[in-house]
Chain A
Amino acid sequence: MFKLFIGFVFALLISVSSTAQDTALPNNEQIEIPQVDRTLLLNEAVNALNASSFTKKTNAVNALVELKDPRILPILKGMRLGKLYSLKKNKTIVLAEKVEGGYQLTHAVTGSDLGIAKSNTIKKIRVNNKVRSALSKHIAILELTSSNTNERFLAAKNILSNPDEQLREVLVVAQKAEPTRKVKELISLIIARLDIQSSDENIRLNALRAMTGAVEPTVIQDIKKILEKDESGNYIEKSEVVTAMAEDKLSWIQTKLDWFKFCEDAIFGLSLGSVLLLAAIGLAITFGVMGVINMAHGEMIMLGAYTTFAVQQFFPSLMSYSLLIAIPMAFLVSGLVGVIIERTVIRHLYGRPLDTLLATFGISLILQQLVRVYNSNNVPVVTPDWMAGSLEINAALSFTYNRIYIFIFALMVLVGLALLLKKTLLGLQMRAVTQNRAMANSMGIRSGHIDALTFGLGSGIAGIAGVAVSQITNVGPNLGQSFIIDSFMVVVFGGVGNLLGTFFAAMGLGVVTKFLEPQVGTVVGKIMVLVFIILFIQFRPRGLFALKGRFVED
Chain B
Amino acid sequence: MMKNTVIYKLLQNDKAGRIVLSALFALMVLVPLSNMLLPPDSFLHVPTYTVTLLGKYLCYALLALALDLVWGYCGILSLGHGAFFGLGGYAMGMYLMRQIGDRGQYGNADLPDFMVFLNWQELPWYWSGFESFTFALVMVMLVPGILAFLFGWLAFRSRVTGVYFSIITQALTYALMQAFFLNDFGFGGNNGLTDFKDILGFDIQANGTRIVLFMLSAFMVIVAYLLCRFIIQSKLGRVLMSIRDAESRSRFLGYRVEHYKLFVFVLSAVLAGIAGALFVPQVGIINPSEFNPVNSIEIVIWVALGGRGTLYGAIIGAVVVNYVKSFYTGAMPEMWLFMLGGIFVVATVYANAGVIIGVILSAVVSSIYAGISTLIGSEINPFVMLFFALGTLYICAKYFDFFWQKSLPFLTTLPLIGNVLKEKVVTSHSEVKS
Q: Which residues of A contact B (CB under 8 A)?
A: 293, 295, 345, 348-349, 352-359, 361-366, 368-370, 372-373, 485, 488-489, 492, 523-524, 526-527, 530-531, 533-535, 537-539, 541
A363 / chain B contacts, CB cutoff of 8 Å? 341, 344-345
A541 and B159 contact, CB distance less than 8 A: yes
A527 and B341 contact, CB distance less than 8 A: no
A523 and B163 contact, CB distance less than 8 A: no
Listed A/B pairs (5) with beta-carbon separation below 8 Å = A354-B77, A356-B348, A362-B301, A488-B167, A489-B167
A524 / chain B contacts, CB cutoff of 8 Å? 179, 182
Per-residue CB contact flags for chain B residues 280-311 toward chain A (1 = under 8 Å, else 0) read 00000000000001000100110010000000
B162 at the interface (CB under 8 A from A): yes
B158 and A533 contact, CB distance less than 8 A: no
B167 and A358 contact, CB distance less than 8 A: no
| Residues A373 and B334 in contact in the complex (CB < 8 Å), given A355-B348, A523-B179, A527-B175 | yes
| Residues A365 and B340 in contact in the complex (CB < 8 Å), given A354-B166, A358-B300, A538-B155 | yes
A354 / chain B contacts, CB cutoff of 8 Å? 77, 162-163, 166
| Residues A485 and B345 in contact in the complex (CB < 8 Å), given A358-B301, A358-B304, A530-B171 | no
A537 and B304 contact, CB distance less than 8 A: no
A368 nearest CB neighbor, chain B only:
B337
A530 nearest CB neighbor, chain B only:
B175
B166 and A357 contact, CB distance less than 8 A: yes
Complex Cα gap A541–B159 (Å):
7
A521 nearest CB neighbor, chain B only:
B182
A537 and B155 contact, CB distance less than 8 A: yes
How near does chain B come to A502, taking the closest CB pair, in angstroms? 15
Per-residue CB contact flags for chain B residues 337-350 toward chain A (1 = under 8 Å, else 0) read 11011111101110
Complex Cα gap A355–B151 (Å):
23
Among candidates B162, B293, B301, B334, residue contacting A353 with C-beta atoms closer than 8 Å: B162
B390 nearest CB neighbor, chain A only:
A366
B178 at the interface (CB under 8 A from A): yes
A489 and B345 contact, CB distance less than 8 A: no
A358 and B344 contact, CB distance less than 8 A: yes
A353 / chain B contacts, CB cutoff of 8 Å? 162-163
Determine the main DSSP class of A at the interface with B.
helix
A488 / chain B contacts, CB cutoff of 8 Å? 167, 170-171
| Residues A369 and B341 in contact in the complex (CB < 8 Å), given A492-B164, A524-B182, A537-B160 | yes
A365 and B337 contact, CB distance less than 8 A: yes
A524 nearest CB neighbor, chain B only:
B182
B167 and A366 contact, CB distance less than 8 A: no
Among candidates B155, B168, B334, residue contacting A492 with C-beta atoms closer than 8 Å: B168
- Size of B's binding interface in residues, CB under 8 A: 43
12 more CB-based (< 8 A) A-B contacts, given A358-B300, A492-B164, A534-B154? A293-B163, A353-B163, A354-B163, A356-B348, A362-B341, A372-B334, A373-B334, A485-B174, A523-B179, A530-B175, A538-B155, A541-B158
Complex Cα gap A533–B154 (Å):
12
How near does chain B come to A537, taking the closest CB pair, in angstroms? 6
A535 / chain B contacts, CB cutoff of 8 Å? 154
A530 / chain B contacts, CB cutoff of 8 Å? 171-172, 174-175
A485 and B157 contact, CB distance less than 8 A: no
CB-CB nearest 8 A-B residue pairs: A362-B344, A365-B341, A366-B341, A369-B337, A362-B341, A530-B175, A359-B348, A362-B345
Interface residues of B in 348-389 (CB under 8 A from A): 348-349, 351, 382
Complex Cα gap A354–B297 (Å):
11
B168 and A365 contact, CB distance less than 8 A: no
A365 and B171 contact, CB distance less than 8 A: no
B153 nearest CB neighbor, chain A only:
A538
A526 / chain B contacts, CB cutoff of 8 Å? 175, 178
B350 nearest CB neighbor, chain A only:
A348
| Residues A538 and B340 in contact in the complex (CB < 8 Å), given A355-B348, A492-B168, A530-B175 | no
| Residues A485 and B162 in contact in the complex (CB < 8 Å), given A358-B348, A359-B348, A369-B341 | no
B162 / chain A contacts, CB cutoff of 8 Å? 353-354
Per-residue CB contact flags for chain B residues 129-165 toward chain A (1 = under 8 Å, else 0) read 0000000000000000000000100110111101110
Complex Cα gap A358–B382 (Å):
25
B341 and A349 contact, CB distance less than 8 A: no
| Residues A361 and B338 in contact in the complex (CB < 8 Å), given A533-B171, A537-B164 | no
Complex Cα gap A109–B309 (Å):
89
How near does chain B come to A525, taking the closest CB pair, in angstroms? 10
How near does chain B come to A176, taking the closest CB pair, in angstroms? 59
Q: Which of A358, A524, A527 has the most CB of B within 10 A?
A: A358
Complex Cα gap A456–B209 (Å):
55
Among candidates B151, B170, B179, B382, residue contacting A485 with C-beta atoms closer than 8 Å: B170
Q: Which of A348, A359, A531 has the most CB of B within 10 A?
A: A359
Complex Cα gap A492–B165 (Å):
10
Complex Cα gap A369–B332 (Å):
13
Among candidates A348, A349, A539, residue contacting B158 with C-beta atoms closer than 8 Å: A539
B265 at the interface (CB under 8 A from A): no
A492 / chain B contacts, CB cutoff of 8 Å? 164, 167-168
B181 at the interface (CB under 8 A from A): yes
B167 / chain A contacts, CB cutoff of 8 Å? 293, 488-489, 492
B338 and A369 contact, CB distance less than 8 A: yes
Complex Cα gap A361–B171 (Å):
15
How near does chain A come to B147, taking the closest CB pair, in angstroms? 12
B293 and A485 contact, CB distance less than 8 A: yes
| Residues A541 and B160 in contact in the complex (CB < 8 Å), given A361-B297, A523-B178, A531-B175 | yes
Complex Cα gap A354–B351 (Å):
13
A359 nearest CB neighbor, chain B only:
B348
Complex Cα gap A364–B338 (Å):
10
How near does chain A come to B225, taking the closest CB pair, in angstroms? 24
Complex Cα gap A349–B171 (Å):
24
Complex Cα gap A366–B342 (Å):
7
Complex Cα gap A492–B167 (Å):
9
B154 nearest CB neighbor, chain A only:
A538
B349 / chain A contacts, CB cutoff of 8 Å? 345, 348-349, 359
Among candidates B151, B159, B181, B337, residue contacting A523 with C-beta atoms closer than 8 Å: B181
B155 / chain A contacts, CB cutoff of 8 Å? 537-538
Complex Cα gap A228–B284 (Å):
59
How near does chain A come to B159, taking the closest CB pair, in angstroms? 6
Complex Cα gap A539–B168 (Å):
14
A346 nearest CB neighbor, chain B only:
B349
Complex Cα gap A370–B382 (Å):
12
Complex Cα gap A348–B351 (Å):
11
| Residues A366 and B297 in contact in the complex (CB < 8 Å), given A358-B344, A538-B154 | no
A537 / chain B contacts, CB cutoff of 8 Å? 155, 158, 160, 164, 168
Complex Cα gap A492–B155 (Å):
14
A362 and B343 contact, CB distance less than 8 A: yes
Complex Cα gap A489–B158 (Å):
17
How near does chain B come to A494, taking the closest CB pair, in angstroms? 13
| Residues A489 and B171 in contact in the complex (CB < 8 Å), given A373-B334, A527-B178, A537-B158 | yes
B79 / chain A contacts, CB cutoff of 8 Å? 357
Complex Cα gap A4–B341 (Å):
101
B170 and A359 contact, CB distance less than 8 A: no
Per-residue CB contact flags for chain B residues 307-348 toward chain A (1 = under 8 Å, else 0) read 000000000000000000000000000100110111111011
How near does chain A come to B286, taking the closest CB pair, in angstroms? 19
